[in-house]
Structure 1
């Protein structure tokens, strides 16, 4: 992950360690002159399958068993985004129950194993930021829940322990984003809660539940505006929280709250999740359409993460008031796809480019479709 932004603090520039990603040196996409399409037809299960097939056709590397960063197919996508694409593969399997899709889920584990030193969490060249590791820990735990393969759980536990030992601040609380302990970000704290709760569900080890509650409490006190549900991107030392609106931070805050709500049935967690969802719906984006994050950088994947957890709020939390909003976003993005390639992109409200595109920006509508249709 790359450092993106800078903030002025006490007369000095201090890096604001946003986990959002920087720009790649790739050709900019060519945009058509088509008018946006925001109406019917409504997407179907056949469309969801078509979208996933297209995503794989243009981005999946079958020999590496991981995804390219762009349609140029010149190099793999960023390490942390592969875990998000693995989630997508699991979503498709949960929707279809297709044995071939389960085989792909297992293939992607092997792809990560081969590419990332066998998930050797002590390799500080492969793994150089804590949240990169935690995205994989979350996905590994989920893959164990889906497949029952013990090696997935073993890797998840080892990764969680490695991150906890290096990232947790036992004095002031919270999780540091990077090895240098320069700040504590939403992108490590809320995923830690989600990972801990998955491991608790699998193992029954109450220490995971304790850690999840501990980190959630810190995050709510330091990264969450309880008046409106806005999630801060980071907290550096004793400085005020750095508020930058990103859908994945809103999403993982929802996911962390839902994981604890599902276990404890404490309505306060559900209230937090709804507040975060309401902020995203009413304050981010335009006319109800989610923001177009990711101007040819890794931020394009952020809405794929948001999709995962807003759908949990709808299904596990019974908050069906968000379904029409989600459906409108899916329909808008799908109807504005590049119809020659069936590739969607980051800006749902405008026609997709027909030139070079990134897997990051093409991932979120595909993810939304799988999850939405699974819950119907």
Structure 2
């Protein structure tokens, strides 16, 4: 096997850093979020100094070294995908692939590295190659929205109209099949129309706001507001800032808060604040930040380990992405920067010898660790804190 040039670059940089710094989805059940805080093994050393920017870039390069696979040409360009694990047994599934590409977009946003931009394009091409242009065969509306959100964020970087069209067409398809007035509104999680979940509604609101920015069509802004206002009425707990995960067709809450339900709600509030400054979205976003910090983290302030099923393991990457942007856009550095920096520093402190970070940011990542989805969490946090 030919060793790509980045491997040598990544490993040489990692050695220097070490010298210097020492598929089918499962529906989750409602649970007390305090159980997510129960990990107390070991003693965490508080260190709120964020990793330097070169380390944030290095973390992304090490990830690419372990999981990136370029597998052919795509028109005049190339196509690629991320492996699901370091054994390279196959590609990540649809929604995790989209989220890994979003992590790459996060890293490019901070580092403006040409290699990262090229890989983003090739990975996008790989999604087109594997899944086509319209994903109506996917029964999971949240999968389609995660993919559309990845596309519209990539469009912001490349100005590629194909990316914008994929985002728009897939968002429109989900809206047409998933939004209705039962339960007062909201998007169904799947085509079975059994539950309306935060994991489709909040990212759809973010995606709609990006589509509004890209197209100038105020209808997308209006849809974003409809979604978030519905979430506030059904899933958001105003007294605490908790964002519930799902409500079933009978009106019963079936899932509690997760880091990604908190994070995407925060992101949606952040996006709507500029369009509707008098609608209290900033305050609700801050309340959701406070709930995550005070009720979901352990005593040292580390974000929770989420291992209920294999979909949970990358949730902290999604939280990091939108929480850090909220802090930057709304000027909350004095309130949240130290906490977020601490999480970034601890994730990097406990990386393994290949520069990979699992989701347990309180002890060392094993050298035989394999999961590519979970490994996005530390990278997103390390790059996210450089937004502010």
Do the aligned partners of 1:254 and 1:277 also contact (CA within 8 Å) in 2? yes
Match of 2:26 in 1: 3
Do the aligned partners of 1:38 and 1:335 also contact (CA within 8 Å) in 2? no
Match of 1:232 in 2: 244
- TM-score, normalised to structure 2's length? 0.84
1:170 matched to 2:185? The reply is no
Out of 367, 373, 376, the position equivalent to 2:380 is 367
1:98 Cα deviation after fit: 2.3
1:263 Cα deviation after fit: 2.2
Matches within 5 A, 1:1-376: 1-5=24-28, 39=47, 43-63=51-71, 65-116=80-131, 118-122=132-136, 124=137, 127-171=138-182, 172-266=184-278, 268-287=280-299, 288-294=301-307, 297-320=310-333, 321-338=335-352, 340-375=353-388
3-state SS in 2 of match to 1:214? helix
> C-alpha distance in 2, partners of 1:104/1:263?
33
> C-alpha distance in 2, partners of 1:203/1:5?
35
Deviations 1:299-331 (A, max 9, x none): 111000001111111110111111000011111
Do the aligned partners of 1:187 and 1:249 also contact (CA within 8 Å) in 2? yes
Match of 2:12 in 1: none
Task: Give the direction of change, closer, same or farther, for the CA distance of 1:5–1:213 in structure 2 (3 Å limit).
Answer: closer
Flag structure 1 segments of 5+ consecutive residues without an equivalent. Answer: 8-15, 17-32
Do the aligned partners of 1:299 and 1:360 also contact (CA within 8 Å) in 2? no
> C-alpha distance in 2, partners of 1:38/1:102?
34
> C-alpha distance in 2, partners of 1:308/1:42?
15
3-state SS in 1 of match to 2:92? coil
Task: Give the direction of change, closer, same or farther, for the CA distance of 1:98–1:87 in structure 2 (3 Å limit).
Answer: same
Deviations 1:270-293 (A, max 9, x none): 001000000000000212100011
1:240 Cα deviation after fit: 2.8
> C-alpha distance in 2, partners of 1:250/1:355?
31
Deviations 1:111-163 (A, max 9, x none): 111111x22223x1xx2211000001111111112211111111111101100
Match of 2:17 in 1: none
Do the aligned partners of 2:57 and 2:111 also contact (CA within 8 Å) in 1? no
Do the aligned partners of 2:206 and 2:267 also contact (CA within 8 Å) in 1? yes
Q: How many residues align?
A: 346
CA RMSD of aligned residues (A): 2.1
Task: Give the direction of change, closer, same or farther, for the CA distance of 1:57–1:295 in structure 2 (3 Å limit).
Answer: farther
> C-alpha distance in 2, partners of 1:215/1:93?
29
Do the aligned partners of 1:37 and 1:351 also contact (CA within 8 Å) in 2? no
3-state SS in 2 of match to 1:162? helix
3-state SS in 2 of match to 1:72? coil
3-state SS in 2 of match to 1:360? coil
3-state SS in 1 of match to 2:363? coil
4+ residue runs of structure 1 moved beyond 4 angstroms? 33-42
Task: Give the direction of change, closer, same or farther, for the CA distance of 1:254–1:149 in structure 2 (3 Å limit).
Answer: same
Decide which moves more: 350-359 or 290-299: 290-299
1:38 Cα deviation after fit: 5.3
Flag structure 2 segments of 5+ consecutive residues without an equivalent. Answer: 1-23, 32-40, 72-78
> C-alpha distance in 2, partners of 1:61/1:37?
36
> C-alpha distance in 2, partners of 1:35/1:173?
46
> C-alpha distance in 1, partners of 2:92/2:44?
28
